[in-house]
Amino acid sequence: MSTDRAEAGRHDFALRPSRPPAPVDHANEDLPIPLETRVEMYRLQQELRQFEKRAYDLFMQNLVKGTSHLSLGQEAVAAGVAAAIRPDDYTFATYRGHAHTLARGVGMGPVMAELLGREDGLLGGKGGSMHLTSVEHGMMGSYAIVGAHLCIANGAAWSAQIRGTDQVAVAFFGDGTTNIGAFHEALNFAVVWKLPVIFVCENNLYMEYTPSDFVTAVPHPAADRAPAYGLEAVLVDGNDADAVYEAARKAVELARSGGGPSLIEAMTYRHGGHSRADPGKYRPDGEVDAWLERDPIPMYHQRLLRLGVAEGQLTEIQQEVAQRVDDATEYAKASAPPGDAALMTDVWADGGSAWRN
């Protein structure tokens, strides 16, 4: 970085040097991952990509109100981890949680209807984009206050420990989370209690509108902090589902066998802005293009072809997913807004909201 550019970059992030992705590590093709698992990860990435594109279109049509935070470009992280855990494991996501919800097998229709604020939404219209939850799928919630859910994931892991199951809890979070206190409290606590919890940092290089390296003491916000808590520094290519899967598999194995927590930093990139309102103009010229070249899905498509999967099978998956996205959209649009009665329900376990007699 020249001094001039460094100085300019202090005031205009778009003038900072571009941070391009690492090249694909083709050796990941040789990882001992069953082909059917790989095809499943491909299907998941297709689902997340096509769903998020549709969600974006629906925002543009003003059918989705409020805000939303898309995972376009980050699908390999959600798919790789989801493929490495069991249906009875717990996951906790941030407000960027559509992908992590769908990856657990939650129906697209209810998720889409929730984004549209309809009565058939996953949360009956009470949560919206930032709070997607499906307890029956082990998806224990999307939490919109940065860092909180890492502490809550600890509790789910503790609960599994107490009940003597070998369930694990996974918490996904962004690079920005590594600078909030709850992150550090959660890590120390998890290590001291040796909890079966896996912390997965999706490092997409930007803390909302600010480059995370501009506001973080170390180059790798999660991996570089891991040794401070006695954890191995795990840095993986978050745009390669196989690399994510392998890291998650090892962490899950460690957690299930009583070995305690892991912290994984997955390098990735969001193709769009932070949220609906953000065009992402703070990113240097060429950076987005370089990452689009490393789009996790076309790369994985090519890899599966090399591994002997027929093009026709992948096309079929794409088409089948496209149909499901269309169906989900229709389902959501056809659903009515929540009735007035829903306003005052479900504050308390008795279904109501009474605070006095």
Partner 1 sequence: MAELNYREAVAHGIAQEMRRDPLLVMLGEDIADAGGVFKTTVGLLDEFGPERVRDTPISEQAIIGAAAGAAMTGIPTIAEIMFSDFIAVCFDMIVNEVAKARYMTGGQISVPMVIRTANGGGSRFGAQHSQSVENWCMMIPGLKVVAPSTPVDVIGLLAASIRDPDPVVFFEHKSLFATKGEVPDGEIVDTLGTAAVVRQGTDCTIVALALMVPRALEAADRLAEEGISAEVIDVRTLVPLDTETLLGSVVKTGRLYTVEENPRLCGWGAEITSIVAEEVFWDLDGPIVRITTPHIPLPSAEALEDLAIPSADRVHDTVVKTMG
- Between 84 and 144, whose beta carbon lies closer to partner 1? 144
Query: How far apart are alpha carbons 351 and 357 in whole angstroms?
Result: 15
- Written as one string, the DSSP assignment of 165-181 is ----EEEEEEGGGGGSH
**In the bound complex, what is the minimum distance in angstroms from residue 91's beta carbon to partner 1?**
12
The 10 Å Cβ neighbour count of residue 330 is 12
In this structure, what DSSP letter does residue 134 have?
B
In this structure, what DSSP letter does residue 28 have?
G
Among 22, 65, 66, 188, binds partner 1 (CB under 8 A): 188
In this structure, what DSSP letter does residue 17 have?
P
- Between 74 and 129, whose beta carbon lies closer to partner 1? 129
Among 141, 174, 196, 221, binds partner 1 (CB under 8 A): 141
**In the bound complex, what is the minimum distance in angstroms from residue 11's beta carbon to partner 1?**
32
By CB under 8 A, residue 348 contacts partner 1: yes
Query: Which of these, 80, 112, 56, 111, lies nearest to 270 by C-alpha position?
Result: 56
By CB under 8 A, residue 347 contacts partner 1: yes
The 10 Å Cβ neighbour count of residue 60 is 10
In this structure, what DSSP letter does residue 294 have?
T
- Written as one string, the DSSP assignment of 209-262 is TEEGGGS-SSSSTTTTTGGGGT---EEEETT-HHHHHHHHHHHHHHHHTT---E
**In the bound complex, what is the minimum distance in angstroms from residue 145's beta carbon to partner 1?**
5
By CB under 8 A, residue 346 contacts partner 1: yes
Among 6, 22, 192, 307, binds partner 1 (CB under 8 A): 192
- Between 158 and 209, whose beta carbon lies closer to partner 1? 158
By CB under 8 A, residue 217 contacts partner 1: no
By CB under 8 A, residue 105 contacts partner 1: no
By CB under 8 A, residue 205 contacts partner 1: no
Stretch that binds partner 1, among 29-37, 186-194, 229-237, 240-248 (CB under 8 A): 186-194
The 10 Å Cβ neighbour count of residue 57 is 12
> Residue 40, exposed/middle/buried by CB under 10 A (0-12, 13-18, 19+)?
middle
**Which residue has tokens 């269309």?**
326
Of residues 44-73, those binding partner 1 (CB under 8 A): none
Number of residues counted as binding partner 1 (CB under 8 A)? 52
Parallel, antiparallel or unpaired: strands 206-207 and 210-211: antiparallel
By CB under 8 A, residue 236 contacts partner 1: no
The 10 Å Cβ neighbour count of residue 275 is 18
Among 72, 82, 102, 156, binds partner 1 (CB under 8 A): 156
Instruction: Give the contact letters, 111-140, x = binds to partner 1 (CB under 8 A), - = no.
Output: ----------xxxxxxx---x-xxx----x
- Between 106 and 251, whose beta carbon lies closer to partner 1? 106
Stretch that binds partner 1, among 22-30, 187-195, 215-223, 317-325 (CB under 8 A): 187-195
Query: Which of these, 186, 266, 264, lies nearest to 231 by C-alpha position?
Result: 264
Q: Which residues bind partner 1 (CB under 8 A)?
A: 90, 121-127, 131, 133-135, 140-141, 143, 145, 147-160, 162-163, 169, 181-182, 185-186, 188-189, 192-193, 345-349, 351, 353-357
